[in-house]
Amino acid sequence: MPDIRTMYLNALTKYVQSAGDDSMAYTSELGPVIAGLLPEDLIALHEESMQVLIRSVSLERALQYYHKSFVFLIELIVFTRMRRQTGHEEDLLSDLRQMLIKTEHSFKQIKSKYENVLQHMDSGIALFDQEGYLSFANLKLSQIIGIPRKTLLGRDFISLLRAPGIDREQRKMFIRLYRELVEYRVPFKEMTSGNGRHFLVSAKYDEELEGDILISVKDVTEFKKIEQSAYHNDKLAMLGKIAAAIAHEIRNPLTSIRGFIQLLLPELQKLGRGEYGRIILDEIDRANEIIYEFLNSSKPSAPDKRKVRVAELLHEVTLLFQSEALLKGCQIDVDPIDDDIIISVDTKQIKQVFLNIIKNAVEVIGESQPERGGRVHIRVQRSNDSVWISFRDNGRGMDAKTLSRLFDPFFTTKSEGTGLGLSVCYRIIKNHGGTIQVDSELSVGTTFRVQLPLH
């Protein structure tokens, strides 16, 4: 005959794994066997059985088993005591059982309600207990990390680093966060992931948490974009003030110098130094071009809009750059475009934007992979009341740091660039009521996406 421990474990296992809440059948069968046990011995037997039962289940399932086992234990204690009395034992036992089940249901409803709130928050939530084990993690945190909740729960920090699905970059980020938030008790830390997403991570160590640590992770990428846009606009405004203050004063003396050099050029040619004069004139012209770009970047002229077909506009742009692209081993492809896609723009300014984007792509391809050959792929898509024009190249791509400063005035990765071209493009597209976006990946390529309102 099975011993009392085996019988108790079998009955308890059947009950907690069953779908119903009625434990009468299990307690009635087990009651006579444990009738002689003291309450403290029964509780010890129950805890011993529960440790065996939860040994191979998840933390979440273990909590469910424990909650349900309380009804089993209390009802069993009441049942054994009632057997020693006379009267209406069965009625009293039934009333107690209903009361326990009702209390358990209320507890589940309250627990479920607050868990649902935490699960549907737009921030990732993690709770580490006093021993350093992750006791709770919501769905948002699982989505941010990219690992199922079941894989995360019940792990301490060291085992979390070894969890399947945690890559090297994530492991390094977790270690930095642990040092900042746990060891140095920094209340919050801003982090940037490998794909350029920005996260604000905060930690709570309140006494009300009784030694637990509450970690909150919020994706602030969109807020960062708004902040960078405002910062960029502030820089453009400052650039406009500088341009208005000095550009006129610089161009005047350059004009005078150019005039005198032209007058002296015949004399220099007689001395065999005509080349000096031509170099000076070329450099003055280059300085004037830089000043012209400087003025345009600070305040491009208001667009003189007219209706134009996107297909016609892109045909002219690609025709202008086709020969130079071929010389640098690059091919420009344009997907078929509907003739009825019409926009109202300043064609000169929009051409300047498109030419600048294509020129940058061709130059990068020519520098990084002339032997392999490059490709610039242009695609047009209609979306509601706007049109998206994308320029995708297979150049060397950009890292997140370069990408974040791409439209800053005077920022350039070229040895001879002014850093004003894309800044001008940004302002032109903005003046047309559109947007310009950039996606890039190192060793894969870059995609510029220009959105303009339809006519």
122 contact partners, CB below 8 Å, separation of at least 6: 140, 218, 219
Quote the pLDDT of residue 1: 44
Kindly list the distances between the CA atom of residue 60 and the CA atoms of 22, 67, 123, 150, 397, in Å, as whole numbers in the listed order: 22, 11, 21, 8, 44
Q: Across all residues in the chain, what is the average pLDDT? A: 78
**97 contacts 23 by C-beta, under 8 angstroms:** yes
Strand positions, DSSP E, 177-303? 188-192, 198-204, 213-219
pLDDT interval class at 96 (50, 70, 90): low
**Residue 453, pLDDT score:** 92
52, 9 Cβ separation under 8 angstroms: yes
286 by DSSP, 3-state: which? helix
C-alpha gyration radius of the chain: 36
Share of the chain above pLDDT 70, in %: 78
What b/e sequence results for 296-320 when a residue is b if at least 16 CB atoms lie within 10 Å of its CB, and e otherwise? bbbebeebeeeebbbbebbeebbee
**How far apart (Å, rounded) are the C-alpha atoms in residues 384 and 382?**
7
pLDDT at 18: 82
Helix (H) or strand (E) holding 340: none
pTM: 0.47
What is the pLDDT, as a whole number, of residue 146?
A: 80
* H helical segments located in 17-84: 24-30, 39-53, 59-82
Q: 407 vs 418, which has greater pLDDT?
A: 407
> Residue 431: which residues within 8 A CB-CB, separation 6 or more?
300, 302, 303, 349
